[in-house]
C-alpha cells in the first residue's frame, strides 16, 4: 500500500494475513514514512496505520470475520515506531528478542 500526497509517495505499508488461526492475524511487515515527511508529529504514519487497519477490517469483514489480531515487530531502539503503535493502542507482548519486541492489538468492527 502506498500513501501519496500530490503524486508524491510519502509512505508505504505492507501487511499479510495469517488466517489459519481461530481468529485472523494480520502481520504488519513494514510501515515506513519518506524522509521528506518525517518530523510532522507522526501525522503521516498515523494516517498510514489507520488506513491499514481500515483495509483489514473491510477485507476480513467480506469473509465474515468481525475481529482480528494485529501484530507488528519493532526494534527496541525505534522509539518513533513504538510511539506510533502506542498511540493506536497496541501493547508490547508476545515474543521479544535482544533486538525486537512484538506489539499486539485486538481489533474489532
In order of 41, 57, 83, the CA distances from 80 in angstroms are 10, 25, 5
Average pLDDT score, the chain: 91
Q: Domains in the chain, please, with CATH?
A: 2-108 (3.40.630.30)
pLDDT in tens, 86-100: 999 999 998 789 999
Contacts of 34 (CB under 8 A, 6+ apart): 8, 9, 10, 11, 44
CB-CB contact of 33 with 4 (8 Å): no
For residue 41, name the pLDDT band (cuts at 50, 70, 90): low
pLDDT in tens, 49-61: 999 999 999 999 9
> Which pTM value belongs to this model?
0.89
Place of cell 504514519: 45
For residue 37, name the pLDDT band (cuts at 50, 70, 90): confident
Give the model's pLDDT for residue 40.
67
Amino acid at each position: 500500500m502506498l500513501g501519496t500526497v500530490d503524486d508524491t509517495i510519502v509512505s508505504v505499508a505492507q501487511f499479510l494475513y495469517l488466517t489459519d488461526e481461530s481468529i485472523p492475524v494480520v502481520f504488519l511487515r513494514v510501515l515506513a514514512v519518506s524522509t521528506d515527511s518525517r518530523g510532522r508529529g507522526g501525522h503521516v504514519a498515523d494516517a498510514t496505520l489507520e488506513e491499514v487497519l481500515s483495509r483489514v477490517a473491510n477485507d476480513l469483514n467480506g469473509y465474515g470475520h468481525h475481529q482480528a489480531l494485529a501484530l507488528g515487530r519493532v526494534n527496541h531502539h525505534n522509539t518513533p515506531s513504538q510511539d506510533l503503535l502506542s498511540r493506536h493502542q497496541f501493547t508490547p507482548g508476545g515474543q521479544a528478542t535482544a533486538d525486537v519486541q512484538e506489539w499486539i492489538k485486538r481489533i474489532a468492527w
